[in-house]
Structure 1
């Protein structure tokens, strides 16, 4: 229970102290409550999106039956923990209390943590060409990596931590199952402005893990610090744009020679652009 404990009512060492009633842990464990089954797929295709009615009653483009499968899996994992791993004898009601701090009768969060979701195709700094950050941009010892410092809006760092998915009958998933690359094999990751600007939409910036990166790069930028960095960058860029000439859009910042001004604004407001 000491694993990722976020509330320690006894105010003892949260990593080693004995838990007491009222303590909370935020469990996210590969062999426990991770749900990586691809059938039914979580993200709806265009055809299934239309058939589901979510095009007109937006629920996020997600298959609710897949979400329910993940919820059941998490509840069964919690039951297994309490019935076979508990050394205190606390009843299951402490996990499934109706007055859960998360606001659900199950005790689970209101919405699952989705490790890998949709990602955009970005816009090149000059012009409308598609942009995407690639493995060679962040991996130590690879050639062809690009220097994003001229358009940097944030910086992050993490291992390439990819979790694979599978089908229920173990047919080939054609999806990477893992990419175990430790932090020391990953360069400090500079987030460029062009990774936040989607194709074909002028008044939108991405503020989380959905930036223009490959599957492999996403495994290093998707974690919380990266998301926070990207989110703060997006918010600050919007604030800066409002102080500029009316009509200036994100895709025009570099072509109009305003990137240096934007970077000075970001740094002045606490954003880190260099490691």
Structure 2
């Protein structure tokens, strides 16, 4: 938007207030939540906004168990606070759930025994732990959370944000003003789609870059800003043998039953989906574990496993976040509201259609059809309909930064014997394959093996704006690199790094660009991160391990 120009009639609103803090974090995604916590730990006052009534983004309101790497149980490859979070989750179950003696004594307890994660657990428990971690700062007023609010305006002056105004929505608690204008020294974008980047006129990239711009082997010949990764509206279900919980036929069921992806000979509502080990092939799945060797999806994202309880208080609960409800029919980011809202509803309809298909028509290995005992569990997700409070957004707008991470920085094949790419200005580490779910225009999908990676400070520094920082999936990286920098521990790390960077810049009266340009300040900022438990580089033993040739 143009400088000092309003896009909403705030001056006409009688229910309008102003608030001020040192740091304004727009969006309580996982990264946004940790950015607020980091800034508060440094003595700053923070205002954190959130569209829903749950902080925590993909871990909570979007209902996605943590995707992690194989070193996580050794306490390597994530910030100390993330390791603490994981142990707090386990301790919550040990203290409050009727676990068997074996489960109580298991140091790597997996509450749901889902195989997608070593810590598959209920979103409500993740929320409880995050709220506990923030509680002292919330209770003392250092962090104020504005629930049920979305950003609608950013006023800028030269290369700075002057204010951001948020508007209440249906999730806002009673007493929240229709519009609230927020003033701060720093503004951090913790939204899942990089909303503040667009509102503030910050330079950004979205969707797919062109190979001529990034030199990435898997990039498109021509850039397409709308060719973003699919989103997923997650649902929680259990299964009651002999029950019938068939939902009303979804309005778009016939459409989705007939919908056939361009990369598949089968409809999306089928047991055939792309094989992660070879995305050029399809793989057969089924619902429940079986003796026929067909991969089960039920225990893939199972988050409640009463087999480890001493009392039968619940059935097993699993999350539907499968290839069958990846929504890639149309984009939801970067399109007008009159397109966005119907597309978001279609993503929701796809998941409801998956539930209905499972209940009524899904082929069973015994030759039958349907599992009417599938039941939506809204109580697990804090909703009435059994779907998550918000869709899982895999890809954001991304700042144009001082350094852009590409496929060349992470791909195991491209780096070869060079191994892990190390940055002198690293602000954290992570590891995950370059995992791109089908994109909405070209339907490209990748699962590219990676080396463990680091997060360069330059990817957090905008090329122009001096008091805005990215705090989640919106750092300076390409779409392909974003396939591995989007996961839970990395987003957590990015948020922390952004919160501490804002605090460091305020304390030293510097802009982020000035911090980045000074070897001395980068070193001092990194010292702050390390003192707060952030790991900056992978240990040598991990590098030696990943460089070992595969064993036969």
- Shorter-chain TM-score: which interval? 0.7 to 0.9
For the structure 1 residues 11 and 210, does the alpha-carbon distance in structure 2 shift closer, same or farther, using more than 3 Å as the test? same
Q: Which runs of 5+ in 1 are unaligned?
A: 13-18, 53-61, 125-130, 167-172
Whole-angstrom CA distance in 1 between matches of 2:483 and 2:468: 23
What's the TM-score, normalizing by structure 2? Answer: 0.38
The corresponding residue for 1:238 is: 502
**How far off its partner does 1:251 sit?**
1.3
Asked if 1:6 corresponds to 2:310, the answer is: no
Kindly indicate whether the alpha-carbon contact (under 8 Å) linking 2:358 and 2:371 is maintained by their aligned counterparts in 1.
no
Are the equivalent residues in 1 in contact too, given 2:421–2:453 (CA < 8 A)?
no
SS for the counterpart of 1:142 is: helix
SS in 1 for 2:494: helix
Structure 2 gap ranges (5+): 1-297, 539-552
Q: Tell me the CA shift for residue 216 of structure 1.
A: 1.0
Is the Cα contact below 8 Å between 1:149 and 1:273 reproduced in 2? no
Deviation at residue 85 of structure 1 after TM alignment = 6.6
Q: Does structure 1 retain, via aligned residues, the 8 Å contact 2:435–2:448?
A: yes
Of 464, 483, 489 in structure 2, the residue corresponding to residue 219 of structure 1 is 483
Would you say 1:35 and 2:327 are equivalent positions? yes
Query: Given the superposition, is the C-alpha separation of residues 89 and 139 from structure 1 closer, same or farther in structure 2, using an over 3 Å criterion?
Result: closer
In 1: Cα distance, 2:333 partner to 2:407 partner: 24
Looking at structure 2, the residues matched to 165 and 115 of structure 1 have their Cα atoms a distance apart, in angstroms, of 10
Could you tell me how far 1:207 is from its partner in structure 2? 1.4
- Alpha-carbon separation, structure 2, partners of 1:91 and 1:20: 17
2:428 is paired with a residue of what secondary structure? strand
SS class of match (1:161): strand
Q: What is the CA distance between 1:37 and its match in structure 2?
A: 1.0
Residue of structure 2 in register with 1:179 after alignment: 446
Find the residue that maps to 2:359 and give its secondary structure: helix
Q: Tell me, in whole angstroms, the C-alpha distance in 2 between the residues paired with 1:272 and 1:120.
A: 24
Tell me the C-alpha RMSD between the 2 structures.
Answer: 3.0
Stretches of 4+ moved more than 6 A in 1?
85-90
Instruction: Work out which of the two has the higher radius of gyration on C-alpha atoms and give 1 or 2.
Output: 2
Q: Find the aligned partners of 1:202 and 1:104 in 2 and give their Cα distance.
A: 39
Q: CA deviation at 1:153?
A: 0.4
Does 2:334 match 1:44?
yes
Contact 1:10 1:20 in 2 (8 A): no
Query: C-alpha separation between the residues in 2 aligned to 1:254 and 1:207?
Result: 17
Give the Cα–Cα distance (whole angstroms) in 2 for the partners of residues 224 and 120 of structure 1: 19
1:248 to 510, 517, 530: 510
TM-score calculated relative to the size of structure 1? 0.74
Pick one of 516, 520, 530 that aligns with 1:267: 530
Aligned-partner SS, 2:303: strand
Cα distance between partner residues in 1 of 2:445 and 2:333:
20
Match of 2:436 among 148, 151, 162: 162
Count of matched residue positions in the alignment of Structure 1 and Structure 2: 232
Partners of 2:435 and 2:446 within 8 A in 1: yes
Q: Please say if residues 241 and 248 of structure 1, whose CA atoms lie closer than 8 Å, have aligned partners that are also in contact.
A: yes
CA distance in 2 between partners of 1:255 and 1:10 (Å): 55
Shift of 1:140: 2.9
CA distance in 2, matches of 1:259, 1:100: 46
Using the TM superposition, name which of 218-227 and 21-30 deviates more: 21-30
Q: Name the CA distance, whole Å, in 2 between partners of 1:80 and 1:21.
A: 24
Q: How far does residue 4 in structure 1 lie from its aligned partner after superposition? A: 1.2
1:26 maps to 319
List per-residue Cα deviations over 1:234-253 (Å, max 9, x = no partner): 222233334x32x3121111
Quick one: which of 389, 396, 412 aligns to 1:140?
A: 412
Match of 1:105 among 384, 391, 408: 384
Change (3 A) 1:34 1:141: closer
- Report the Cα distance in structure 2 between the residues aligned to 1:91 and 1:159, rounded to whole angstroms: 35
Q: Is the 8 A contact 1:3 1:27 kept in 2?
A: no
Preserved contact between residue 303 and residue 319 of structure 2 (Cα < 8 Å): yes
Question: Would the aligned equivalents of 1:163 and 1:177 in 2 still touch at CA under 8 Å?
Answer: yes
Higher relative contact order (CA 8 A, sep 6+): 2
| Equivalent position SS for 1:150 | coil
After TM superposition, list the pairs within 5 Å mapping 1:14-93 onto structure 2: 21-30=314-323, 32-38=324-330, 41-45=331-335, 48=336, 63-83=340-360, 84=362, 91=373
Contact 1:4 1:26 in 2 (8 A): yes
Q: How many angstroms does 1:108 deviate by?
A: 0.4
Superposed CA offset, 1:179-238 (max 9, x none): 2312xxx22211111111223321122111111101110111111122112122222223
**How much does 1:10 deviate?**
4.3
